[in-house]
Amino acid sequence: MTIGRQPLTFHQVDAFTDRVFAGNPAAVYVLDAWPDDQTLAAIAAEHNLSETAFVVPGAGGRHELRWFTPAVEVELCGHATLASAHVLLNEMDSYEAPLTFVTRFAGELGISASDDRLWLDLPARVAQPVDHDIADVAAALGGEAHAWYAATNYLAVFDSAADVAALEPDMRALARHSARTNLGFIATAPADDGQHDFVSRYFAPGHGVDEDPVTGSAHCTLAPYWAERLGKRELAARQISTRGGELLCRVDGDRVHIGGQAVTFATGTTFLDPGTRT
C-alpha cells in the first residue's frame, strides 16, 4: 500500500537520440527541496540506470542539478543534463530556454535550444599525453591503441572504428585501476561512415557503469582532441555502444557546446517511506 508514503514523480528520458530504445537513458526528478544524500543515492541505485538526475528549480532560470550513478555521485554528466533540460522544457509548464543548471562540481552549465536540438555549454577537459607506465590499463582495455592521453578520463586513440567496436575490456581490471585513479576510460578512433568525424566508447566500471551508452562528459575531452587533430571546431560524433547515440560538438575556447536530441520514454511515481527527509 502507498497510503501515507511520499510520492515523487520522475521521467525516464533517452538522451542523444530522436527515438526510444536508443541513446542513453536517464531518470529525472524535479524536486521542491533536496532529500538527504542517502535517499538520493538509494533512488539512483533503485533505478539502476547509468545516471539519475535530480533538479531543484530556482528563480530566474537557474536550477540546482546533481547526478548519481547506481554507485556514486558524479561531478559532471552530459546525457542526464540533456535529459533534465528536456523534462523542464517539454514535460513541464513555466520553463523555457535558455536554462542554467548550477552544479556542485562543474560550475554553471548553460542550456540553449536551436537547430532542433538542445545545446549543452560544458567545460572543456583537454587531455595530455600520458607520461607514466599504463601497460596494465592497456591490457585491461584490450586492443592496440597507438596513443594514450589523460584528463578526467584516460583517452585511448585507435586507428579505426572497427578497432574500437571490437574491444572487450576486462571490467574487473579496469575497475581496480579506476579505484586507484578515479578515472574512466574513453576509446576513440576516426569515423569511417562518411557522416561522422569520430567514434567512441566509454567504460566506467569503477563508478558502477561498465559501458555507458552515450557520454556527453567524455566529449568534453574528445571534442578538443579531434578539433585539434582535424583542424575543425565543429564535429559530428557517434558513440558506438549497443544502443548508440549522436552528438554534435562545437569547441569554443575552454568550453565545449554539445548538441543532441532527447525523447521521453516513460513517466512514473516513486513512493518514499514516511520519515524520509526532504
Whether the full predicted model's pTM is greater than 0.85, yes or no, is: yes
C-alpha 57, offset from chain centre: 21
For the stretch 46-68, what's the b/e string if a residue is b when 16 or more beta carbons lie within 10 angstroms of its beta carbon?
ebebbbbbbbebeeebebebbbb
Enumerate residues 6+ apart whose C-beta is below 8 A from 176. Answer: none
- For residue 132, the model assigns a pLDDT of 85
Mean pLDDT for each 10-residue chunk of the chain (278 residues)?
A: 74 98 98 96 97 96 96 96 98 94 97 96 97 91 94 97 98 93 96 97 95 98 98 98 97 98 98 72
Active site residue 51: yes
Question: Concatenated DSSP letters for 70-115?
Answer: SS-EES--HHHHHHHHHHHHHTSSS--SSEEEE-SSS-EEEEEEET
Q: Please name which of 6, 91, 21, 5 lies closest in space to residue 55, comparing C-alpha atoms.
A: 91
Catalytic residue among 46, 51, 73, 96: 51
